[in-house]
Structure 1
Amino acid sequence: MTTASALFERWLPTSASVELYKYQIEYLRNIHHADYATTCTFYEAAVDAVGHDRNAGGSWRDYLKFIQDKSDRQFKNRSEPAADAAIRINQMRRLYLRAIRIPLSDCDIIWEEYLGFEKRTSMATFELMRKYHEPVHERAKANLQVLNKYLSAVTSTVKPMPGSLQLLLPSPAAAPNERQLLEQWIRYIRWEESNPLQLDMQTREDEKQFASRMQGVYWKAAVSMRFHEEVWFRWFRWLDGLDPAKRPTEENPMNVLVDGVQANPTSSLLNSALAEQYKKQHRYAEAIATLKSFIEALGKALDEEQRSGSGASTLTLDSTSALQVYRDSRSGIREDQSLRMKTQQLGNAWFCYLRLLQQSHDQSAFRQALKAATKTRHLDWRVYVYAALTEYRSKADKANYIRIFEEALKKYPTEVELILQYLKHLIDINDENNAHDLFERVIANPVLTPDKAQPIWEMWTAHVSNFGGLEESLRLEGRMSAIYGNDPEAAMQRFMKRQEYILDPVGIAAAVPSPNDSQQTFTSRVDSDALLPTSEASPSAKPAISNNEGQSCRISPLPILSSSEEDRHLRRHDHPSPSYPDQRPFKRHKKDPHPTDRYGSRSTQNGGLEHTKA
């Protein structure tokens, strides 16, 4: 096998390049002088793989011309036998009918060539074939216009850096419009997934064509958006969801994830998906290796970002304008946020790694990995929480989880979320002594300011109020008053907190209108005007109620109209019957054909409502 043949065999199965398939056929015909059957086989492979491409019209036409030229050469000086002519005509008609339904850039040329082919074949059936297949061609032309819009939107306008090669794609950070370009690709992929060619998915041939078309779309998207994890993951999910017999290639869908991880080594989405696929196949060694590489890549990225941030030059006010100082401060905030997010991402990677070891029931490896994690420079506190809870559930040594929580508390003494998780766990397992001890220790920490410690106070106060004694609850409220103030609003809020458990009974009661207050509407957890009746609220305030989603919505009070006023109102607005919030259907009884609903309105014979006085 020559070097060129080896390269073609290596790259063609996973390629959607029209040019590459064209080079292969030219190589076979001109260099190897392949026979007719072999060349037809490679032409078929080409149109199956890339014939769906907008620029593949030349491949279809070359294939058709190759079949016709063979017949012309073979039967140059004599007539073509009927059997051979029938085989050729059926083969060419099948190719034409496949091509005219595809939105090719030269679909009009192929359509005209098809009409000429039918004319030469039989004038008797020409009109019938034209009328039958013309709607298919028109649909392909319409789809071509839509396709051109999508492809023009996903064409990257990013120019390469001076001195760089055209083949090197920019990273996402190098192009401000990269995210918009990704969104355009997602829209285009969704359009292709909607089967705009209206292929019959019940037939094997159309199903194969659709799969091949989608494979080409994802391949181009991955080439253009190589550094975006969403494209690779969507491609994998689509390919993995296909029946193995219906896949366009024999390639394992996991190879898509492998290529995606190579392009995006710090992607949580792709690394986690790849490790999960290995776990499904019980290939734990590969899963562990994947997550280890992921953790190393994230650690290196964090170290590099910290070095670049700390190495930035410090500018003084004398040499920098106020605007530049503002921009530098904003840039520093963004860098801190980026570091925080990447630290959390690294913590999530450690969590996936520890979870894998826990699922493999290797407790010794789990503890060794946790020990290695605690020695790293960048570690999120959530790793400690997961490790502590895992130790608690393992039932191996109950003292281990306390030790892990305490070690985390020592390392992150002001991390309120960590303290809340620790406190919640102790409350959940009914460990009152350790929970109370933890609460007193953390609020005594002078570094933890009252503003930061307020969620801790609220959690412990709610627990004591719900499950402790009244005296203890009042003592806690007194301590909170001394720290956070004792103004009436704060005192009322604290009192309401002590009266609720999951639901808010005080707010719910305020939201339910009384039967006698037909014009009064209340709301829960809104401003003070809304808690007053409509007649006592300020003129600018509108009554409000709570909808089913817990959000407050404003409505106008229900008017009480006389019968004549109501009739005029309905005629003026041309509305058959006013709709009221939360109006429920009522049953008709024989004794009262026009019953009164709960709003004091009586239905009339013409479908309207007649308000009655209470």
Structure 2
Amino acid sequence: MPSPQVFLFASTYQDAIKEEVDNDIEIDGVLQRLKNNPRDDMWGHILTWAEQADTATSKSLRIFESALECFPNTPAIQVAHLKKTQAHDSPYTKEEVERLFRNYLNFPSVALCNLYVSFMRGQSAYSAQSTYRFVLDLVGQEAESNGLWAQYLDSLEAAGENQIFRETLHEVVKIPLTDLPHFWSRLQLFEHRYHTMTAKDTLVQLEAAHAQALMVRLQLQHYMQVLYPRPVHDNQHIDYSSDTVWLPAPPLASVSNGQLVRKWEAYLKWEESDPLRLRESNMMAYKTRLRSAYLKANVRVRFSPELWLMTYKWWQKVGDDNEALLRLREGIQGNNASLLLHFALADTLEGKSDFDQARQAYEELLTIFRTALSDCPVVGRADISKDFGLVYIMYIRFTFRTEGRTAAQAVFSRAINDSTLLPWLVFEEVAKMERDHGGSINDTRHIFEAGMKQFSRDIGYVVCYLEWLITVNEKTCAQVLFESTVDEFPIHDAAQLWDHWSRYLYRCGDLDSIQEAERRMSKVYGTVDMCQSLPLRSFTSITFSRDVTKYAQSASKHTAGTTSRTRLGGYPRTNPLFDADNRLPVPPHRATDNREYQKATLDQTIQGLESKVRTAELGMESANQEVKSLQGLLSALQAMYEAQCSQNRWLREDQIRFRREVLGICQKVGHPIIEAVGPDRKRDYEVSGDETMEIDEESGRPTKRTKISA
């Protein structure tokens, strides 16, 4: 940026840049800073100054050269640079200029080809027809290339090359050029003048392809108006071939820029759909159109990894793996922290058995994120840390595949040294890999224990470790972990540990352990309202289950992004719902929004209620007591289904069935339904002597119907 001293004497930002460059105040430092940060807005200002400079000074030429290192293949910068090299005071020779043209024409544009034709006119070996044919082979499928086609046709007509002129016109009228009607009129005139007998048949044969080109031309103009929002000229065509310097902006800089990326994706998919039907008749022309379209997208939206990946996949699809790899590396140059592109590059190199280069791709990513984390304040580290951890996970997987367990363990040892910058998910994932690759339980435990040194105060990691110990039936170690950590967390976080540990005890523990756990939990979370109608109290402590559920749900809100955060596998870490008997808690690896599992849970609940009704038929007193004990669970389930039924048809149907079952159960035991569903729903369920209770099929709510006598 211009120094403060410069701003004191400059009236505008542009004047400040001019004064800084004119006085040679650290111009090399400015360019180096801009190279390190290609997204700096100062690029546009300094390029405008270099373009408007009166002479081709070494400073302006260095600016263009530096810009092309950061924005390679950008036509506007290439054209501006070449114009400066052709100035009368330019230090470039004609041979050097021609060499630049040849390099730039590897990624051609219409503006660049127009400049090349002008340059070649001054050369002794100039041949108009060969020059035009050369550039039209490069950009002849571009909509704005009609000027080059017109000049080529004029040169053929002037040379009396009628046959080539006719063949060229037949080719041109099938291309969606901006001035396509003009070329059709020119063809009609030529055919009727020189081929009177066959003119009608010839035009009829070309008419279908020409009509298709006209339709595609209209669609293309619509896309270009969206993708290149520039002023409309008198001919009502967007001048998207203009050589005005324009630089891409990061895709997340604004909402409009993000929308621009989606529009480019739509345009590229449209081009791939082959609207001109060239794949069968002219495969070379089809590839030329797609190559040009992807080049425009990569220049216009350079900082979009998704578009670079589309480019890479397209080149792979057409069978050019080398070009695909080059485009991928160029995309990484503009998006050096993109996990998407680096992982694609590493996979490609691994597929080619180039393991050293693939390893280097991972090492570069680790260096980038390690530097970013060291420079980033603690508040903004979370997202970068997640990406850093994902790089390590992918790197360790790659090493497992290519070099084996020993080499992967060496990479993991490096990750342990970076543990202060990593999320705990790295340790969980490595432990799973160790298990899946034949490691022993002790080896896996050592990995978890290494993570405990850094994440012993992270409830998510402790719960993960506890789950694994329970899974491998390490009861003693699981109990030691639980007892050593449960009192170290606040009550909201500790509810997560109690939830998992109590589930385990209800499945596998003895009665003394269960009762001791319930005693301790009731001391922490409130009085446990035990139901005395069944032999084992722990199987019917519905109110207690509701209390733990309340604390677990509250803890999920307070620890958002840690304990309740979705794991790599895609499932939430806890599910506080219990079944009717409180004996078969929902498995922790199942998500609460899994529709099939929720339906199974509902069926299980209703079966439990019916079982209790059969038990309660021994007496009205025990029946009333049983229904009271179910009140909390009924209310919780009812609230859950009501909250979701408006969005899900299957939930509405289940809600109707659920209420019908509840109504039937309460009628069987002779207990007022008000006590089962809660007093807040009293008006919905009250039934007088002349009314009956029915379930409305549309709303799913109980409805009172008045009896009508005959």
8 Å Cα contact 2:278/2:285 also seen in 1: no
8 Å Cα contact 1:545/1:554 also seen in 2: no
What CA distance in whole angstroms lies between the structure 2 residues aligned with 1:2 and 1:69?
30
**2:279 corresponding residue in structure 1:** 201
Alpha-carbon offset, residue 29 of structure 1: 4.5
What 5-or-longer segments of structure 2 have no aligned partner?
A: 1-93, 232-243, 530-541, 547-576, 588-596, 611-631, 659-710
**1:481 corresponding residue in structure 2:** 522
CA deviations 1:328-353 (Å, max 9, x no partner) are: xxxxxxxx4x5311110111111122
Call closer, same or farther: CA 1:270–1:103 in 2, change over 3 Å: same
Call closer, same or farther: CA 1:548–1:382 in 2, change over 3 Å: same
What CA distance in whole angstroms lies between the structure 1 residues aligned with 2:644 and 2:479?
44
**2:545 corresponding residue in structure 1:** 491
Alpha-carbon offset, residue 216 of structure 1: 1.2
8 Å Cα contact 1:385/1:405 also seen in 2: yes
The yes-or-no answer on 1:432 pairing with 2:475 is: yes
Summarize the alignment of residues 212-611 of structure 1 with structure 2, pairs less than 5 Å apart. 212-244=288-320, 252-306=323-377, 336=379, 339-376=381-418, 377-395=420-438, 399-445=442-488, 448-469=489-510, 471-485=512-526, 486=528, 489-491=543-545, 494=578, 496=580, 497-500=582-585, 503=597, 507-509=602-604, 528=635
Alpha-carbon offset, residue 396 of structure 1: 6.3
Between the two proteins, what is the percent identity of the paired residues? 22
Task: Give the 3-state SS of the residue equivalent to 2:421 in structure 1.
Answer: coil
CA deviations 1:527-558 (Å, max 9, x no partner) are: 749869xxxxxxxx89979979768677799x
8 Å Cα contact 2:389/2:422 also seen in 1: yes
Q: Paired residue for 2:225, among 152, 161, 177? A: 152
Call closer, same or farther: CA 1:437–1:10 in 2, change over 3 Å: same
**1:69 corresponding residue in structure 2:** 158
Superposed CA RMSD: 3.7
What CA distance in whole angstroms lies between the structure 1 residues aligned with 2:517 and 2:472?
22
Alpha-carbon offset, residue 231 of structure 1: 0.6
Q: Which amino acid aligns with 1:201?
A: R
Q: Which amino acid aligns with 1:202?
A: E
CA deviations 1:261-319 (Å, max 9, x no partner) are: 1100110100110011111111111111111111111222333332xxx7xxxxxxxxx
What CA distance in whole angstroms lies between the structure 1 residues aligned with 2:332 and 2:650?
41
**1:82 corresponding residue in structure 2:** none
8 Å Cα contact 1:546/1:553 also seen in 2: no
Alpha-carbon offset, residue 395 of structure 1: 4.8
8 Å Cα contact 2:431/2:447 also seen in 1: yes
Alpha-carbon offset, residue 242 of structure 1: 1.7
Q: Which amino acid aligns with 1:491?
A: S
**1:313 corresponding residue in structure 2:** none
The yes-or-no answer on 1:110 pairing with 2:152 is: no
* Structure richer in helix, relative to its length: 2
The yes-or-no answer on 1:18 pairing with 2:110 is: yes
What CA distance in whole angstroms lies between the structure 2 residues aligned with 1:274 and 1:96?
44
Alpha-carbon offset, residue 226 of structure 1: 0.7
Alpha-carbon offset, residue 381 of structure 1: 1.5
8 Å Cα contact 2:389/2:425 also seen in 1: yes
CA deviations 1:146-199 (Å, max 9, x no partner) are: 2222222222689xxxxxx945433345445211211221222222222222x1
What CA distance in whole angstroms lies between the structure 2 residues aligned with 1:177 and 1:130?
45
Alpha-carbon offset, residue 394 of structure 1: 4.6
Tell me the number of residue pairs that the alignment of Structure 1 and Structure 2 aligns.
Answer: 474
**2:207 corresponding residue in structure 1:** 134
What CA distance in whole angstroms lies between the structure 1 residues aligned with 2:157 and 2:651?
72
Call closer, same or farther: CA 1:364–1:103 in 2, change over 3 Å: same
What 5-or-longer segments of structure 1 have no aligned partner?
A: 73-87, 159-164, 245-249, 311-335, 515-524, 533-540, 558-614
TM-score (norm 2): 0.60
What CA distance in whole angstroms lies between the structure 1 residues aligned with 2:96 and 2:606?
80
Q: Which amino acid aligns with 2:317?
A: G
8 Å Cα contact 2:578/2:586 also seen in 1: no
**2:149 corresponding residue in structure 1:** 60
What CA distance in whole angstroms lies between the structure 1 residues aligned with 2:657 and 2:517?
43
Call closer, same or farther: CA 1:552–1:9 in 2, change over 3 Å: farther
CA deviations 1:111-149 (Å, max 9, x no partner) are: 212212222331222222333433433333332222222
Call closer, same or farther: CA 1:472–1:121 in 2, change over 3 Å: farther
8 Å Cα contact 1:229/1:267 also seen in 2: yes
The yes-or-no answer on 1:188 pairing with 2:267 is: yes
Task: Give the 3-state SS of the residue equivalent to 2:337 in structure 1.
Answer: coil
The yes-or-no answer on 1:8 pairing with 2:101 is: yes
8 Å Cα contact 2:390/2:426 also seen in 1: yes
Q: Which amino acid aligns with 1:366?
A: A
What CA distance in whole angstroms lies between the structure 1 residues aligned with 2:153 and 2:96?
29
